Structure 1
Amino acid sequence: MSQDGGSTPQGEVTNLSPTPCVSERSTEVRRYLGTGTRPRGHGGGRRWDREAGRAGSRCGCQSSPPWGGAGRCFRLRVVEPGRSPAPGTVGKPRPQPPAARPDERAMELEPELLLQEARENVEAAQSYRRELGQRLQGLREARRQIKESASQTRDVLKQHFNDLKGTLGKLLDERLVTLLQEVDTIEQETIKPLDDCQKLIEHGVNTAEDLVQEGEIAILGGIGEQNEKLWNFTKKASHIQLDSLPEVPLLVDVPCLSAQLDDSILNIVKDHIFKHGMVASRPPVQIEELIEKPGGIIVRWCKVDDDFTAQDYRLQFRKCTSNHFEDVYVGSETEFIVLHIDPNVDYQFRVCARGDGRQEWSPWSVPQMGHSTLVPHEWTAGFEGYSLSSRRNIALRNDSESSGVLYSSAPTYFCGQTLTFRVETVGQPDRRDSIGVCAEKQNGYDSLQRDQAVCISTNGAVFVNGKEMTNQLPAVTSGSTVTFDIEAVTLGSTNNNEGGNFKLRVTISSNNREVVFDWLLEQSCGSLYFGCSFFYPGWKVLVF
């Protein structure tokens, strides 16, 4: 209906005055009276050109008519169906009211819709601000990681090369001392014979000088009075071997020390030094996933460098309050469960790899933080036949004659989880041995091979509600891992002839084999107990 109250026949055009567009998706009236605002949900990515007077394609308008004002949307108004035209109005333009300014018309038209639009814009702006804030935080974290890792890398490089220089200097000094000691030893060993020979010659020289002096005196005395002196001199000279001379070695026969130094070591050392060390912008492996477990966290990692061939991996972890990482796994697997995790405590994990044929480890991955909110599985303390670890997750069958089932301290296993038993050591097997889960504790039984329980015996037999299944798993050995995966199949009543009204689908896996079956219970159970029983000592079982 027009503003002047007139009516027209169906389908007849009566007025070409500007009217607001009505959105097809609702009755909400949206007007863009040259305000330069962009309507929500229209023209994604298109800009409102206020100066050129283009609003693009909005509210179903494909373009602005040539008579449209800047930023104003026009549409031909069609007479409502079933209405008759007023006399004298067909084909005649109606008188136009005085044109109102855009701001006045905006205030007149549906203020509650404008208020709703404003609220939506505020909410959109707040959401946009939050998203931008999160991205700014992500940028800060990325910048911090680059800055901190660069600073740590500088410190590591400086410390390493300072240590290397100190070690090399120490090794060179030690080698120099060794070589100088060899020179001293050779010098002392080869000089000693020469010193002895020198002493012998010097003694002979002195003896000869004394003999010459004595002989000259005897000769000067003449014959007659000096006969006795000549006789004594001749007798003395005959006892001295004046024709015997000591042998002096030739120069070619005595050592001539020298240092043999291979100058090529400088080139070898230079090549090794120039190739020593590497700065990696990204480690070749990264932690891919952290999965919480009761009392543990499964850590999975993957290789992100296609050119790197990994031979072994090394996983470390620490509490976030600690400054020291400790090794928890070294091997070729890309998954490991870290046990002895306290619930609701943050831990950091990192992993590195060793290339094929290399000794050094790669740079560490970016540390990832994780925690477990699940209550750790614990055995019931105080049972006479079993000894427990400090965390009560390991049970050892002792020498006590007491028998019975060792249950969990609480029903901490929930459907949808994986319950794992790892046999650390084995004793003598017995067909009544059992490892499994049950709906409730029932004292007085020697085994879980009873009603309202499923279990596996140490010989691999599987029991459901006390009945042995046809399918059988391999016998349990030292190091064997037995897992239980249970999911709810139906809640409520089933066939009463089947003897239950709550069905669970159980998967028991051991030694790369598994059995799957439906377990019927008398009533629904939100959580289950686990337990074990062994008739002979020596069995040790870890649960997680």
Structure 2
Amino acid sequence: IREMEIETEALLQEAKESIEAAQNYKSELQQRLQGLNQARKQIKESASQTREVLKQRFSDLQETLIKLLNERLTLLLLEVDTIEQESIKPLDDCQKLIEHGVNTADDLLRDGENAICCGVGEKNEELGNFTKKALQIQLDSLPEVPSLVEVACLSAQLDDSFLMAVKDRIVSYGTVASQPPVQIEELIERPGGILVRWCKVDDDFLAQDYRLQYRKSTSNHFEDVYVGPETEFLALHLDPNIDYQYRVGARGDGRHEWSPWSIPQTAHTTLVPHEWSSGFEGYSLSSRRNIALRNDCPASGVLYSKAPTYFCGQTLTFRIEGASQLDKRDSIGVCVENLNGYDSLQRDKAVCISTNGAVFVNGKEMTNQLPTISTGSTVTFDMEAVNLLPSSYEEGNLKLRVTISSGNREVVFDWLLDQPCDSLYFGCSFTSPGWKVLVF
């Protein structure tokens, strides 16, 4: 009996596992059906939208072409009317002159006949008067009538190749693509922002520029955030935990029009934006507290971040918006603690770069040096944890692989800390007023 109970329990457990596996299988299939339905919906909706776009565009083209042809026809007919009127006018003037001469000749003929037929007593006088009148008319002077080759003969010159050229343009106008040439490849959250990366999916499409747009989940309107040749962009000043939708288009080499938009992708950031600490007399901050300006207040010291918001695996970027005189004590970098009483990050438990390009680790200057910092310079810090021996973990040590980049150069080194550290502060110190730095 015990063996039967054990066998029954085993069969029951196996049945439960089979039921659970069947439920999971059904759930997976239902998710795939949902994915298929979404794919079918995308195809149907995009096809319908494309049809409407094509119909509207060709309708607009027809109206525009008919309007342009009618305007051109009207202009050519007006030109025909103008030439006709200008060419006819001299002929009308000549006709009036000839008709006047014919009337004068008729009058002269009647006077001549009357002079010949009058009585003998009046004949000499009438004949004399007639002769004088005939001499005054100058019967040997005739108006010149232009020959047919001298007057206008209107015609229309219509280039038959125009129709062929228009036909060639029409038959090749417009294309239908199953996929946009560019798609968003990756959306990575950053403090107060999203790093958007995209790529070409059509190898035959030669992209000259890209155009990235985004919209908040509460908005129906997309806005441009980037136009240029790069294939990634860091969208900043985003509200945490709010969905943003992104799409990207491309412009072909030598073309003016933009390609169709990529399939919109949604992302949000859970990371709070990097901010400088407020209340330091030596620095003025922007409204978002991500830009610090060294003012002319004589107060000195290190301006730290509001909180330790830099985590390993991220990229911390400083962009110099304004520069001033160099000083070897100047510093931009990260540190474990926001210690007061120091005028520079060139101290223990900190790594930094000076404005002259010198790199300091725990207060010691490295042999390798980066380019001098000036307006427009960008300095980036990248850190990742390096595996240590078990004994090092027991001692509470932490080893970070640090990469500092500036200009087209970078330095890489290992930074050993005597205690675990989940996040770091960032900071800066400038001696001369006028230095302005943006952090993101």
Q: TM-score, normalised by structure 2?
A: 0.87
Which of residues 318, 321, 332 in structure 1 aligns to 2:218?
A: 321
Instruction: Indicate the residue corresponding to 2:49 in structure 1.
Output: 152
Instruction: Give the CA deviation at 1:400.
Output: 5.7
Equivalent residue number for residue 542 of structure 1: 438
Residue-by-residue CA offset, 1:150-181 (whole Å, 9 max, x unaligned): 11111111111112112222221222222223
Matched, 1:271 2:168: yes
Structure 1 193/293 Cα, relative in aligned 2: closer, same or farther at 3 Å? same
Q: How does 1:325-474 map to 2 (within 5 A)?
A: 325-381=222-278, 383=280, 385-397=282-294, 403-474=300-371
Aligned Cα RMSD in Å?
3.2
Which residue of the partner structure matches residue 301 of structure 1?
198
Residues 306 and 207 from structure 1, CA distance in 2 versus in 1: closer, same or farther, beyond 3 angstroms? same
Structure 2 gaps, min length 5:
none
Residue 120 of structure 1: aligned partner: 17
Hey, what's the Cα distance between the residues in 2 that align with 1:109 and 1:501? 53
- Counterparts of 1:183-332 in structure 2 under 5 Å? 183-225=80-122, 229-332=126-229
Report the Cα distance in structure 2 between the residues aligned to 1:209 and 1:491, rounded to whole angstroms. 135
Q: Deviations over 1:121-154 (max 9, x none)?
A: 3312221221111111111111111111111111
Q: Retained in 2: the 8 A contact 1:284–1:305?
A: yes
Question: What SS does the corresponding residue of 2:276 show, helix, strand or coil?
Answer: coil
Residue 70 of structure 1 corresponds to which residue in structure 2? none
CA distance in 2, matches of 1:209, 1:416: 115
SS at match of 2:355: coil
**Cα distance, 1:387–1:187 mapped onto 2, change above 3 Å:** farther
Output one character per residue of 1:317-375: Cα deviation in whole Å (capped at 9) or x when no partner: 22233333333333333322222332212222223334445554443322222221111
Q: Are 1:165 and 2:58 matched, yes or no?
A: no
Once residues 316 and 405 of structure 2 are traced to their aligned partners in structure 1, the CA distance between those partners, rounded to angstroms, is: 10
User: Structure 1 residues 203 and 503 mapped into 2: Cα distance closer, same or farther (>3 Å)?
Assistant: same
Q: Amino acid of the residue matched to residue 423 of structure 2?
A: S
Matched, 1:475 2:377: no
Measured against aligned partners, the alpha-carbon deviations of 1:478-532 in whole angstroms (never above 9, x if no partner) come to 433211122345699969xxxx965544221122322223445565443222222
Deviation at 1:301, TM superposition (A): 2.2
1:251-299: CA deviations, max 9, x gaps?
1111111111122322222222111111111233322211111122222
Asked if the contact 1:436–1:448 (Cα under 8 Å) also holds between the matched residues in 2, the reply is yes
Does the Cα contact within 8 Å between 1:484 and 1:507 map onto a contact in 2?
Answer: yes
Contact 1:491 1:524 survives alignment (8 Å) = no
Structure 1 CA distance for aligned equivalents of residues 58 and 433 of structure 2 = 56
In structure 2, how many angstroms separate the alpha carbons of the residues matched to 1:222 and 1:537? Answer: 129
Aligned-partner SS, 1:166: helix
Residue ranges of structure 1 left out of the alignment (5+ in a row) = 4-27, 30-105
Over 3 Å counting, the alpha-carbon distance change for 1:387 and 1:168 in structure 2 is farther
Q: Please give the alpha-carbon distance, in whole angstroms, between the structure 1 residues aligned to 2:255 and 2:191.
A: 37
Q: 1:502 to 1:306 in 2, by over 3 A?
A: closer
Quickly say closer, same or farther: Cα 1:205–1:493, change in 2 above 3 A: farther
Q: Distance in 2 between matches of 1:349 and 1:413?
A: 25
Distance in 2 between residues matched to 1:230 and 1:191, nearest whole Å: 41
Measure, in 2, the Cα distance between the counterparts of 1:449 and 1:537. Answer: 19
Distance 1:538 1:205 in 2: 100
Q: Say if 2:35 is the partner of 1:138.
A: yes
Any idea what the Cα deviations from partners look like across 1:418-453, whole Å, max 9, x if unmatched? 111123444443333322122333445443333433
Q: 1:531 to 1:252 in 2, by over 3 A?
A: same
2: CA distance, partners of 1:256 / 1:365: 60
Cα 1:346–1:281, aligned 2, differ >3 Å: closer, same or farther? same
SS in structure 1 of the partner of residue 164 of structure 2: helix
When residues 201 and 443 of structure 1 are mapped into structure 2, their CA distance, relative to the original with a 3 A threshold, is farther
For 1:272, the aligned partner's letter is R
User: Kindly tell me: are residues 400 and 109 of structure 1, through their superposed partners in 2, closer, same or farther at Cα, counting changes over 3 Å?
Assistant: closer
Question: Aligned partners of 2:209, 2:398: CA distance in 1, in Å?
Answer: 47
1:91 aligned residue: none
Residues 438-484 of structure 1: per-residue CA shift (max 9 Å, x gap): 23334454433334332111221112233322211112244332111
The 3-state SS of whatever aligns with 1:177 is helix
Q: Sort the Cα spacing of 1:226 and 1:449 in 2 relative to 1 into closer, same or farther, 3 A.
A: farther
- The one-letter amino acid paired with 1:342 is D
Residues 421 and 128 of structure 1, relative CA distance in 2, 3 Å threshold: same
| Identity among equivalent pairs (%) | 77
| Counterpart code for 1:302 | C
Measure, in 1, the Cα distance between the counterparts of 2:92 and 2:364.
Answer: 103
Indicate how the Cα distance of structure 1 residues 243 and 427 shifts in structure 2: closer, same or farther if over 3 A, else same: farther
Residue 515 of structure 1 pairs with residue 411 of structure 2? yes
Structure (1/2) with the larger helix percentage: 2
SS of aligned partner of 1:143 = helix
Considering Cα pairs closer than 8 Å and 6+ residues apart, tell me whether 1 or 2 has the greater RCO.
2
Q: 1:172 to 1:471 in 2, by over 3 A?
A: same
Superposition map of 1:489-508 within 5 A: 489=386, 503-508=399-404
